[in-house]
Structure 1
């Protein structure tokens, strides 16, 4: 009966965490629903006083977080991180979600272990979960952008050879590309329409997308604008360089697959083995989590495993 109650509590907590994650990080659907609802309300009727007061309270809470918790430097750093990840939320909303994940992680560890001592462990894990998610989305978005970059340059070169200017070539890229390339090129064109120069717009793009291939392209464009020359020919050479680097990176990834898999096995094997032993004989391994010496050994093993995992990742990471 106790395991059934614990399972129901864990399942309910998982549903709560999933709903919060969808509300905050599935920004496209969330934005579309909000816009549709706003348009419907604007066309039909106004908000009720009760609903309006609730929205005001939520806005005041996020504003209080921004003023009391976020410094100017931290706020700008979070904006850059969220922008690179393609997550359309505000820094104060990210902080609020981080607090919820911290409380939920600590509560789950207390429910699972039955000891308040493990609340800080779960709270720390929950605190870093939003950052891990955002960092993962940033890496995925950057990888997808790098995959689209050669096609984008090919489209731009074709447009310039047809007689278009560089801004017109970017407009062609926007019409034929998908996200995230389309979103970033739209931002570049929008900044140029608002009065920014091509140099300023491209430097802003380089700040939003920390790609080495993109940096190579931007430097080539800026140098060409200063010294002159045929930009289409320059971009063709950039395309060849990017394709060669991509080919080498894929070869390196294939050759280092065994080492990376070894790092994953070394990192997960102690956790899986401890879980299996707990299922077979809970009292046998439970001593590690009740005795002081056992806790010290568990902490030392965790630190050693983490160090070994990162050392193997460092050895198998080759910069090209």
Structure 2
């Protein structure tokens, strides 16, 4: 039994190293590629060894694959959507790189599940698991980035109000706030000011910012600014009211989070309980639990149980999530 654990650990380690190596090759830095191209163009170099030529060919093939994926995404009108999601998540990769990472994740986890459980049906489960992981990572990063933006939004609006009362214009106030704001507010304000410098109107720049940061609080601020620019009025007073509304909403959200923490923790415990129980039974009696992964009826029961657990977890999250 100890030998089987050692072999399983070796397979997992080897698969992880192989995955990291392929990931490193796929996301080969553009700057490194440019330096290498310039080196071959402007300098006369002696003949390279065959191993180095193979590395260069491999890098070029990956670049060509990325270019083909990019063109296919442009034809299917998916590139802009993926690019927007990656920007909202703050992940600095291109859409074609994300698609390639998704393919690698599918192949990696499909092979990993097949090696661990030695069953053909679990290969498809591993592929589905690998397909969902990139989406989960992007969604989680997106949520974290929006939460960070919302945490600093009230301070940003307060700084804009102070600058407006000091006599600054709205673009000057935004530029002043940009220099003092942390990430990700600083990056979004820099993008906003660049678009305004390139000739876009304030309304157009603010609407694009709303698309990049899907925040309800930011939407409230942008609507107030757009309406004020159309009908007139004291923008500082309007933004001050919005700051008060946002802070009250954050306060209520904190109270709701505290009251629903027990329900969310119950959902996590109930979701992890079957895995813990299965692990204990496997340690106590491996042959008894092994039938569940080798017999077709056991595999079907695992699939049904997994789907039921996911549905129950989603229901618990929906019940404990209260929008303010």
Contact 2:26 2:62 in 1 (8 A): no
Give the Cα separation in 2 of the matches to 1:304 and 1:250: 30
Specify every segment of 5 or more residues in structure 2 that has no aligned partner in the other structure, as ranges: none
Match of 1:142 among 117, 124, 146: 146
Match of 1:119 in 2: 123
Give the C-alpha shift of residue 211 in structure 1.
0.1
Name the SS of the counterpart of 2:100 in structure 1.
helix
Give the Cα separation in 2 of the matches to 1:227 and 1:165: 17
Match of 2:6 in 1: 4
Match of 1:278 among 246, 270, 282: 282
Match of 1:223 in 2: 227
Give the Cα separation in 1 of the matches to 2:229 and 2:73: 44
**Paired residue total:** 314
Question: CA distance change for structure 1 residues 71 and 287 in 2, over 3 Å: closer, same or farther?
Answer: farther
Whether 1:171 aligns to 2:175 is yes
TM-score (norm 2): 0.88
Contact 2:119 2:294 in 1 (8 A): no
Whether 1:253 aligns to 2:257 is yes
The one-character-per-residue Cα deviations of 1:273-311 (angstroms, maximum 9, x if unpaired) are 112211211111222222233223222222222221111
Specify every segment of 5 or more residues in structure 1 that has no aligned partner in the other structure, as ranges: none
Give the Cα separation in 1 of the matches to 2:156 and 2:75: 38
Give the C-alpha shift of residue 156 in structure 1.
1.1
Match of 2:298 in 1: 294
RMSD: 2.7
- My pick for the range that moved more, 43-52 or 256-265, is 43-52
Whether 1:82 aligns to 2:68 is no
Question: CA distance change for structure 1 residues 203 and 9 in 2, over 3 Å: closer, same or farther?
Answer: same
Match of 1:209 in 2: 213
Give the C-alpha shift of residue 11 in structure 1.
1.8
Whether 1:107 aligns to 2:111 is yes
- My pick for the range that moved more, 155-164 or 42-51, is 42-51
Give the C-alpha shift of residue 38 in structure 1.
5.7
TM-score (norm 1): 0.89
Contact 2:292 2:299 in 1 (8 A): yes
Give the C-alpha shift of residue 241 in structure 1.
0.3
Whether 1:153 aligns to 2:157 is yes
Give the C-alpha shift of residue 189 in structure 1.
0.3
